[in-house]
């Protein structure tokens, strides 16, 4: 017996990239608002350093930035460029390789964010 709701569908296309699960359109042309999901928080950006599960290598984490996915990618690119290192954006968290907490805090404050240093 098949359920009325299909769990399948196109997720990625080599022509247009990622597809919206709601309207089945490329994310760049999505009109349903599914890509506009912004993490709700207290308005404070938290910057921390973590090395667990990374072979002892430090990573700077930036959490709580209330931006959509595209703007978050752009902010991540700015931070990585300013720190001169690599990184990624996963699940609404910007990861910058290396211990760059102080530099990231300064850059975010200069852009007008309320920033707190989290962790030790």
The domain spans of the chain are 9-37, 39-117
Q: What is the mean pLDDT of residues 32-45?
A: 60
pLDDT at 11 over 90: no
Average per-residue pLDDT in the chain?
79
Q: Is 48 exposed, middle or buried (0-12, 13-18, 19+ CB in 10 A)?
A: middle
Which of 57, 38, 60 shows the shortest CA–CA distance to 49? 60
- When the candidates are 3.40.50.1980, 3.40.190.10, 3.30.780.10, 3.40.50.2000, the CATH number that belongs to 39-117 is 3.30.780.10
Q: What is the pLDDT of residues 47-77, one digit of tens each?
A: 999 888 888 889 999 998 888 888 889 999 9
């Amino acid at each position: 017996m098949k359920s009325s709701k299909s769990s399948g569908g196109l997720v990625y296309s080599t022509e247009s990239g990622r597809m919206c699960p709601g309207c089945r359109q490329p994310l760049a042309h999505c009109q349903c608002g599914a890509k506009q999901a912004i993490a709700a928080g207290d308005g404070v950006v938290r910057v921390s350093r973590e090395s667990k599960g990374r072979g002892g290598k430090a990573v700077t984490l930036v959490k709580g930035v209330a931006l959509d996915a595209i703007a978050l990618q752009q902010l991540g690119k700015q931070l990585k460029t300013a720190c001169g290192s690599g990184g990624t954006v996963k699940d609404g968290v910007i990861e910058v390789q290396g211990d760059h907490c102080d530099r990231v805090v300064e850059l975010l404050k200069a852009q007008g964010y309320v920033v707190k240093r989290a962790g030790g």
